[in-house]
Amino acid sequence: MDDDQREFLTDLLATASPSGFETPAQRVWVEYVERFADDVRTDDYGNAVAVYDGGDGPELAFTGHADEIGFVVSAISAEGYLHLSPVGGSDRSVSKARQVHVHTADGPVNGVIGQAAIHVRDKDDTEYDDIEEMTVDIGAADEDDARDRVAVGDPVTFAQSPRPLRGSLLTARGLDNRVGVWVAAEALRRAAERDAESTVYAVSTVQEEVGLSGAQMVGYDLDPDAAVAVDVTHASDHPEFPGSKHNEVALGDGPVVARGATNHPEVVDAVRAAAADEDIDVQLQATGIRTGTDADAFYTSRSGIPSLNLGLPNRYMHTPAEVVDTDDLNAAADLLAAFAVRAAGRDSFAVEL
Q: What is d(CA 249, CA 207) in angstroms, rounded to the nearest whole number? A: 26
Say if residue 223 carries a ligand binding annotation. no
Determine which one of 59, 68, 208, 322 is catalytic: 208
The answer to the question of whether 237 is labelled as a binding residue is: no
Q: What are phi and psi of 63, to 5 degrees?
A: -130, 150
Query: Is there a binding annotation on residue 65?
Result: yes
Determine whether 208 is an active site residue.
Answer: yes
The answer on whether 209 is annotated among ligand-binding residues is: yes
Map residue 156 onto helix, strand or coil. strand
The residue among 106, 167, 94 whose CA lies nearest residue 134 is 94
Is 318 known as a binding-site position? yes
DSSP state of 228: E
Give the count of beta carbons closer than 10 Å to the beta carbon of residue 35: 11
Whole-angstrom CA distances from 147 to 99, 114, 143, 201 are 20, 19, 6, 43
Residues in the chain: 353
CA-only gyration radius of the chain, Å: 21
CA 139/CA 130 separation, integer angstroms: 22
Q: Per the annotation, where are the binding residues for Zn(2+)? A: 65, 176, 209, 231, 318
Which amino acids are annotated catalytic?
208
Q: Per the annotation, where are the binding residues? A: 65, 176, 209, 231, 318
